[in-house]
Amino acid sequence: MSSTVLKNDRYLRALLQEPVDTTPVWIMRQAGRYLPEYRALRKQAGSFMDLCTNPELACEVTLQPLERFDLDAAILFSDILTIPDAMGLGLYFAEGEGPCFERPIRSAADVAAIGIPDPELELSYVTDAVRTIRKALDGRVPLIGFSGSPWTLATYMVEGGTSKDFSKVKGMLYSDPKTLHLLLDKLADSVISYLNAQIAAGAQSVMIFDTWGGVLSPHVYKEFSLQYMAKIVDGLQREAEGRKVPVTLFTKNGGRWATSIAATGCDAIGVDWTSDLKEVGEAVGDKVALQGNMDPSVLYADEETMRTEVKRVLSDFGDKPTGHVFNLGHGIHQHVNPDHLKIVVDSVHEFGRKG
C-alpha cells in the first residue's frame, strides 16, 4: 500500500493521545441500513453477503456516510462472521432471524476439522475491499479495519446463530472448557492473521468487537474472552506506512473491566452507554484512549436534546486535550433519521474544539 498523505488524521492522533484540534467522531455501523442509499444498493446487490463479498460495492457502501457527514474515519464495510464463514460452517442469513450456520461447532472433532483461513485466499474479498477503499479515500480520512473477538465469534459458531441465553456455548464453557479453549485459540490465530492482512492492505487502525463478552461473569470473561484479545493485541502489526496502527478493544457491557482491558497493551477502549465515561477515564488514567459512549437511542430525540447529550458525553470525558474519540455506545439503529446523525457529528466538532 503506497503511502498517501492523510488530510484528516485527528482520529488516529486521538487514539494515540496526541494533540487534536477538536474531538474526532465516527459511528459504529455508520455504513448501513439507516441510509436510504445503502438500502437501495443492497437491494441492487441481492443480499447482504453479496454486498460484503463484492469489493467495489463494499467500497461504495463504506464511502456513503462520508458523503453525508463530516466523519473523521471510514470503517470497512464487512461482517464479523467472515472468519467462521471462511472456515466452512455454512453461513446464511435467515429472514428475520439474522445469521445462522448450517454446521455449528459442538465437539472437539468439529474444532479439529476447521482450519485457519488464509486472508488472501478464502477472505481475499475483504483485503481487496480494503485496497479498493484506501485508493478511493485518497487520504481523506483514515480507514478502520475490524474483526469480531474470539469469544464473540465462538458464540455464533457454537450456538449456530444468535442467542438469548447462550446456553450451548456457556454449556461447553463449563462442561468441556478444553474444547472451547481449542476453538478460541484457533480463532485468535485466525483474527491475528486476518487483521494483519487488513493492515498490510491499507487499514490504518483496527478494532476488535467483543459484542458478547459482557454476558460473562468477571473471572470467566478474563479466561475466555480477554485472554484471547490480549493474544491478538500481542500478535498484531502495530506500524505501517511509517506511522502507528492503533488497536481498539470494545466489549459491550464491559466497562467494569476497563483496567484489565487496558492492561492488554491496546491503544484504546470502546465504552458503551451503560458505563460512566468519567469513571472509566479515572480508572484507566492515561494508559489508553477512550471511544464512546452516547446511547444510540439519543438519535431519536429533538435537536436540543441531542446537542445537550453530545455536550454531556464530552464533559464526562473531561478537559483532557486529547484521547477521546466520540462514538455511540453501540451501533446506530436502522430506523434513525440520518439528518439527526448530522446534528450529532457537527455538534461534536463544535463543542469538542480544543484551545
List, as residue ranges, the binding site. 29-33, 79, 156, 211, 330
Residue 156 is a catalytic residue: yes
Catalytic residue among 9, 72, 79, 85: 79
The DSSP symbol for 223 reads I
Rg (CA), the chain: 19
Residue 316 is a catalytic residue: no
Cα–Cα distance for residue pair 70/304, rounded to 1 Å = 20
Whole-number Cα distances in Å, 74 to 162, 196, 222 = 27, 18, 30
Catalytic residue among 21, 42, 68, 189: 42
Cα–Cα distance for residue pair 82/84, rounded to 1 Å = 6
Whole-number Cα distances in Å, 81 to 33, 237, 270 = 18, 22, 20
Which of 58, 67, 33 lies closest to 135 in space, CA to CA? 58
Cα–Cα distance for residue pair 262/247, rounded to 1 Å = 11
Cα–Cα distance for residue pair 268/245, rounded to 1 Å = 11
Catalytic residue among 33, 103, 238, 243: 33
Residues annotated within the binding site for substrate are 29-33, 79, 156, 211, 330
Residue 106 is a catalytic residue: no
Which residue blocks in the chain are alpha helix, DSSP H?
10-15, 36-45, 48-52, 55-68, 82-86, 108-113, 124-137, 150-159, 167-175, 177-201, 218-221, 227-235, 258-262, 277-284, 303-317, 338-351
Q: Are the CB atoms for 261 and 208 separated by under 8 Å?
A: no
Residue 79 is a catalytic residue: yes
Catalytic residue among 34, 38, 156, 228: 156
Residue 42 is a catalytic residue: yes
Which of 234, 223, 215 lies closest to 178 in space, CA to CA? 223
For 98, the enclosing helix (H) or strand (E) is: strand 98-101
Burial of 265 (0-12, 13-18, 19+ CB in 10 A): middle
Give the active site residues.
Answer: 29, 33, 42, 79, 156
